[in-house]
Amino acid sequence: MPHIVYLMSDTGGGHRAACRAIEAALSELYPETFTGELVDMWRHYTPFPFSTLPDTYVKWVNWSPTTYAAQYWLNDRIWRAKPLSHALCRQLFPRMRQFFQKYPADLYLCAHSVFVRPAIYALRKLGIQKPFITVITDYALPNIMWYDPRVDLTTIPTEPAYRRGLRLGLPPEKMVLTGAPVHPKFTKLTLSKAEARQTLGWSPEARIVLMVGGGDGMGTLPQTARAIDSLKLDAELVIIAGRNAAMKKALEARQWERPTRIYGFVNNIEVMMRAADLLITKAGPATLTEAATVGLPMVISGAIRFQESPNVKYVVSRKAAVYAPSPRKVAAAVAELLADNSAKLRALAEGVKSIAEPHAVWRIAELIHQHATKAAES
């Protein structure tokens, strides 16, 4: 039974979510064929203080988005220099060697940009002839570190990301434009909006605005919710605070003008998306692709500069979302979309279909199966 090791990290929820989505698709397409395990590379295979990043990432992004954006911009440029890239690979080689010794596999899948180059460098230097696949979890303009021609295959989420790969010298035969993977539960959702609301116990008639801040409850979610609530729109709010217990407690303590439901971390976000009329979210790739798969129009409330701002340009240009980068602007956008008999909202719902890639995770699973089968036969 082929064993897959996934290189990821809990620096944001998208890396783990992509790996779990792929695991689920493999399990459905090829039952009892693959085993797998996820390894947090930042936590276990980088030196202190970098090893603390899974614990400090959310605080960094929330408290100082400017410095986070600056390091992202810098990293996208300095690693173009081959001497620096080689130096990083050599520096991390002892830790990567430990990783490959501890986690033997029939196929390695990397879902984090920082570890593509060090891992493939070590794998080839150690003479381990196992397939290595990169699954890009960024979206419209992935960081340069995602791209390495030494890997066996790179799956690409969007056309701009594919064009960037070509510019960076990746051979076309080593890239596949699959779309971004989302969990099969989004692609197989059969509930109607009315059924989803009945399942959740939500109002069958109200217009419902769903607000999310990712699994960790990031961004200006409370301020944005208050701004929308102050307009006293004919709508209800559903706010998902994720794992941010302090945020959830503060939201629950507030007296709301509109009917408002507040949740912590949830495992049925696909049902909530199906039940809602409009989504308020930051421009994280995982949420964007999940909402698109369900067909839920979006107002994007913010984006990390350089990392997520290209996502905004991509989805807005395809008329799948409205960009409103402040609580006040989000509230105004919501009011406009819910007015005019929701004609503008229906137009967004049509636009969001243009960025949906419901077959992506299945295609990626098929590619993994092909490479694992080929490796077993050689």
Q: Which fold has domain 185-355?
A: Rossmann fold (3.40.50)
Check residue 216 and give its pLDDT: 64
pLDDT for the residue numbered 134? 98
Cα dist from 127 to 40, 93, 97, 153, whole Å: 23, 13, 11, 18
pTM summary value: 0.94
Q: For the chain, what are the domain ranges? A: 3-182+358-377, 185-355
Query: With a cut of 70, which residues of the chain have pLDDT below it?
Result: 214-219, 341
Model pLDDT, residue 243: 86
Predicted pLDDT at 342? 78
pLDDT in the model for residue 343: 87
Dist. CA 308–CA 301, nearest whole Å: 12
Would you tell me how many other CB atoms lie within 10 Å of the CB of residue 261?
17
Helix (H) or strand (E) holding 187: helix 184-187
> Could you write out the DSSP letters of every residue in 200-226?
HT--SSS-EEEEE-TTTT-SSHHHHHH
Contact 213, 244 (CB under 8 A): yes
- At the topology level of CATH, where does 3-182+358-377 sit? Rossmann fold (3.40.50)
Q: What are the pLDDT digits (tens) for 244-277?
A: 898 999 999 999 999 999 999 999 999 999 999 9
Cα dihedral sign for 307, 313, 318, 320?
Answer: positive
Same fold: 3-182+358-377 with 185-355: yes
**Given this model, what pLDDT does residue 340 score?**
72
Taking the C-alpha atoms of residue 260 and residue 307, their distance in angstroms, rounded to an integer, is: 32
Distance CA 110, CA 167 (A): 21
Helix axis angle, 65-78 to 53-63, nearest 10°: 120
